[in-house]
Structures are given as C-alpha cells and as structure tokens.
C-alpha cells in the first residue's frame, strides 16, 4: 500500500469520528510524534 493510499484510508476513518474520538486521535498522534522526536534527539 502506498503512502497516498494509507493517507486516504486514514482520512476516511477520521471523517467518521466524533469530536471526542478526534481528540483521542490527536493526542495519540502528538504523543507518537513527540516520542519520535525524543528518540531522534537521543541518537
């Protein structure tokens, strides 16, 4: 599956979420990116 296909798939899921669910997803993504940044800094 290509990057574009994955992004489209994720977008279709996002479009179906409630506001409460979107907040959870946003928090998860922020944590994921923060973890990635911290790991890159440690190297």
Q: Which two tokens stand for residue 8?
A: 């489209």
Position 43 scores a pLDDT of 64
Position 5 scores a pLDDT of 98
Question: CA-CA distance, 15 to 19, in Å (whole number)?
Answer: 10
Q: Encode pLDDT of 1-43 as tens digits.
A: 999 999 999 999 999 999 999 999 999 999 999 988 887 777 6
3-state secondary structure (DSSP) of residue 17: coil
Position 7 scores a pLDDT of 98
Position 34 scores a pLDDT of 93
Q: Is-contact 31 23, C-beta < 8 A?
A: no
């Amino acid at each position: 599956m290509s990057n574009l296909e994955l992004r489209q798939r994720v977008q279709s899921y996002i479009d179906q979420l409630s506001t409460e669910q979107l907040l959870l997803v946003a928090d998860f993504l922020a944590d994921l990116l923060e973890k990635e940044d911290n790991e890159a800094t440690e190297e």
